Amino acid sequence: MRQGASDRTTRPFTLVVCTACAPASAARPLERLRVAVRGCPHGVMVTSGCLGLLSTCRRPAAGLFAVVQPCTRRREPSGPPLRLGPILTMDDAEAVSLWLQAGMPDDGTPPARLPARRSPLRTAHLN
């Protein structure tokens, strides 16, 4: 289902943020993400430990890594998950926040400033 520009902020999603490798300086960017998700009527944010195969940090103090999953209002996945990060600064958190509030564009364009990759669990492996 395609959504018009006027209802983009109501597009449901689940944002899972790994805080396992986050330095102390990640508290402010994490709070910025919380504020952004609270502003999206059907957005849900979950903080977690290591995201394992869904993330690529694998090193201490690497910053915040996140996975965003577009979904229906019933929380059923409606598109592939997208990995985001590292989210190191307030500018990074602002870019993700604005991207979420814009409704995660259908063309798969990631937030400005941040690398974004499809989850490796959705990528075919070579034999």
The answer to whether the CB of 69 falls within 8 A of the CB of 81 is yes
Whose CA is closest to 16, among 58, 46, 54, 55?
A: 46
pLDDT in tens, 55-77: 566 555 578 889 999 999 999 99
pLDDT digits 0-9 by tens, 96-112: 999 999 888 777 677 87
Return the closest-CA partner of residue 93 out of 25, 14, 10, 20: 25
Domain boundaries along the sequence of the chain: 21-120
Q: How many angstroms separate the CA atoms of 26 and 17, rounded? A: 11
Q: What is the pTM of this model?
A: 0.80
* pLDDT value of residue 5: 46
Q: What is the mean pLDDT of the chain?
A: 80
